[in-house]
Structure formats: structure tokens, C-alpha cells
């Protein structure tokens, strides 16, 4: 199943310098943690003739690339209540930083369509760059602890299974958990177990605070039952937890049983898993492939 969040955006909705012959599309891959933005120039509408106009077409696409990419960055969900745009409005991030991230995109060579009517550019951005820009702490916050710790094995990682509709805390309804840059994990007594300030800030430079995978990743025909990519993230002996609920304006936050929370917070070895971001959340594939609409 396709696990891409697919974005479609016409250039007419973006305030550019008058280009009406460029379309922009993109997708967000929550599993690979990549944003891909594709720009497509209609050569006929731009009055560009090949082969002499190829360089002109490339320059036309490249000159506006920051403005093509920016809306996708601004629309990304940060947590249960905010997008990147909200963080810009709150002064926690500047448009200059957003544009710098856009400029850092890895650009693929320009490609002509088989009928030679359009030219495409593709840009790929690793979301760790966006996560790192939003991290403000330098020291790791203390992780919630209990007065009487429970004996617990030393696990190699944490897997939270939240792929089914779950009760929404404080509401008489259920919903699927949805992805964000910085989800929180609570126990059902509403003790905060994990959030962005619990992770080593150097880790966020190269990895998200949680990894997202679809259900099939934990039902492979392998000795561990996991696919190779997940095994690499959580190790051979992960703690598997069934989520008990979701929380937030957008249901990005996960609730787990207090007993499961105690297995994590009762030992230094398991608390270290949180600091290192060795947390994976299993989400429903429908959520990982949901459509995006720009505001």
C-alpha cells in the first residue's frame, strides 16, 4: 500500500512572480521521513522551444524553487495543536529559516516528459532539518519517574501499536492516531512520559523523536516478526505496547497503560531509550496516506 501523504498544489494559489504555467505537487513520506516536491513547467505555455530553451526552462523552475517548497514546509504538523506556520506566527521560527531549509533541498536533475511538453524538477528534504530547527533545549529534561520503580528488563527499543481507532481522551468518541513532528506519549492517568524536551538535542539533528511505520512492519515472516528497517530502529528485544487512547486537538498524542509506562521509566537503561529517540509508533496505513489540503 502506498504510504505517502500526497500534496497537490496549483501554482496559482502561491504568491509568486506571475508564473502561471508551473504546477507544483508533493508528498510527505512519514516512514522515510522525507518531503518530495515536484515542479512541472508547461513549455508551450511558457513559449519555450527545445532544445535551445532548455537552459531557460531550468532557470525558470529553479529561480522560484524556494517559493514552491515553502507552503509544504509551513503546512507540516508539529504537534497536536500547531503547524510550522503556527510556529512562525509565534516567532519560534522565521520565514528566513524556512527558506534556508527550502534551499537545502536535494535537487534531482531536470527531466523532460516523453512528449517534450513539460519539464520537471524534484526536490527532497529530510525532515530532521525541520525538527532540528524547532528544537530549543540544550539540556535533556528529566523523564517522569515513580517513587517505587518496577523491576523491568532492559529493552532495545519501544514499539507502540496505535493502528486502530482509539478512545479520544475527554471525548465520547474514537479516532485514529495521526503523525506529527513532535507527538507526546502519556499514560492514561495523564502523566507525561515522553515529549520533545526528553530527547538528546543532538539526536534530533539526524533522526525524528519517533519513527512511524505501518502495521505490516510488525507482521513480517522473519524471526523477529519485524521488517529489517524496523529491526534496525528498535533492536532485537523491543518493548511492545498497545496504545489505549489518543489525545490532543489533532490526535497526535498517544496514551498507554501506567503499567507499560512503568516498564519504561523504572530503569535508567529504558529511560535512555527515550533520550535516544528509540521509539516507533505503528499507525494505520490510511493515516499515513491521507490527502493534504493547503490552507
Report pLDDT for 267. 92
Rounded Cα–Cα distance for residues 41 and 154 (Å): 54
The pLDDT tens digits of the residues spanning 70-120 come to: 988 998 999 999 999 999 999 999 999 999 999 999 998 888 878 888 888
Report pLDDT for 289. 60
Report pLDDT for 19. 52
Residues of the chain with pLDDT under 50: 1-18, 290-295
| This prediction's pTM | 0.85
The pLDDT tens digits of the residues spanning 36-74 come to: 888 888 887 777 788 877 887 778 777 778 888 898 899
Report pLDDT for 152. 86
Report pLDDT for 239. 96
Amino acid at each position: 500500500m502506498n504510504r505517502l501523504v500526497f500534496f497537490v498544489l496549483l501554482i496559482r494559489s502561491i504568491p509568486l512572480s506571475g508564473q502561471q504555467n508551473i504546477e507544483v505537487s508533493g508528498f510527505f513520506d512519514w516512514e522515510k521521513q522525507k518531503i518530495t516536491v515536484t515542479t512541472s513547467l508547461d513549455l508551450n505555455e511558457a513559449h519555450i522551444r527545445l532544445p535551445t530553451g532548455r537552459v531557460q526552462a531550468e532557470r525558470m523552475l529553479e529561480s522560484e524553487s524556494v517559493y514552491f517548497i515553502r507552503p509544504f514546509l509551513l503546512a507540516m504538523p508539529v504537534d497536536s495543536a500547531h503547524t510550522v506556520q503556527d510556529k512562525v506566527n509565534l516567532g519560534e521560527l522565521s520565514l528566513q529559516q524556512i527558506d534556508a531549509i527550502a534551499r537545502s533541498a536535494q535537487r534531482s536533475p531536470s527531466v523532460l516528459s516523453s512528449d517534450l511538453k513539460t519539464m520537471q524538477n524534484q526536490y527532497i528534504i529530510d525532515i530532521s532539518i525541520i525538527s532540528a530547527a524547532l528544537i530549543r533545549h540544550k539540556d535533556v529534561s528529566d523523564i517522569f519517574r515513580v517513587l517505587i520503580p518496577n523491576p523491568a528488563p532492559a529493552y532495545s527499543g519501544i514499539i507502540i501499536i496505535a493502528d486502530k481507532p482509539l478512545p479520544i481522551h475527554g471525548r465520547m468518541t474514537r479516532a485514529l492516531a495521526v503523525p506529527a513532528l513532535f507527538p507526546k506519549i502519556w499514560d492514561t492517568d495523564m502523566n507525561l512520559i515522553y515529549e520533545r524536551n526528553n530527547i538528546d538535542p543532538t539526536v534530533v539533528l539526524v533522526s525524528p523523536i519517533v519513527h512511524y511505520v505501518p502495521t505490516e512492519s510488525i507482521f513480517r515472516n522473519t524471526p523477529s516478526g519485524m521488517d529489517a528497517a524496523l529491526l534496525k530502529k528498535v533492536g532485537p528485544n523491543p518493548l511492545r505496547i498497545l496504545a489505549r487512547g489518543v489525545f490532543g486537538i489533532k490526535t497526535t498524542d498517544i496514551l498507554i497503560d501506567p503499567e507499560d509506562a512503568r516498564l519504561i521509566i523504572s530503569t535508567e537503561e529504558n529511560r535512555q531509550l527515550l533520550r535516544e529517540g528509540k521509539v516507533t509508533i505503528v499507525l494505520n496505513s490510511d493515516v499515513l496516506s491521507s490527502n493534504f489540503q493547503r490552507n
